[in-house]
Amino acid sequence: MSITATMPVAKKRPRRTRTKQLSPLPAIQLSKLLPSHLDLRKPLKAVLVCTDCETWVPITGMQGKVQKLVPHHTGKAGAAAAIRCLSSNRLVDFDLTIPEWQQALTDATKEASSRLATTVLPKAFSPQTDRTLRARAERTPAGRVADWAAVLPHVADTDEARRAVPVGDVPAEARSVPRNHLAIQRPAC
Contacting residues toward Zn ion, per CB under 5 A: 50, 52-53, 85, 87
Nearer to Zn ion, 19 or 129 (CB): 19
Largest CA distance in the chain: 139
Contact 30, 39 (CB under 8 A): no
Nearer to Zn ion, 36 or 102 (CB): 36
Contact 22, 91 (CB under 8 A): yes
Nearer to Zn ion, 11 or 76 (CB): 76
Contact 86, 97 (CB under 8 A): no
Per DSSP, the three-state class of 106 is helix
Nearer to Zn ion, 48 or 104 (CB): 48
β-pair partners for 57: 48
Neighbours of 33 (CB within 10 A): 17
Least CB distance to Zn ion at residue 117 (A): 36
- In one-letter notation, the amino acid at residue 155 is V
Least CB distance to Zn ion at residue 90 (A): 8
Least CB distance to Zn ion at residue 14 (A): 25
Least CB distance to Zn ion at residue 74 (A): 6
Least CB distance to Zn ion at residue 51 (A): 8
Nearer to Zn ion, 28 or 96 (CB): 28
Eight-class DSSP state of 30:
G
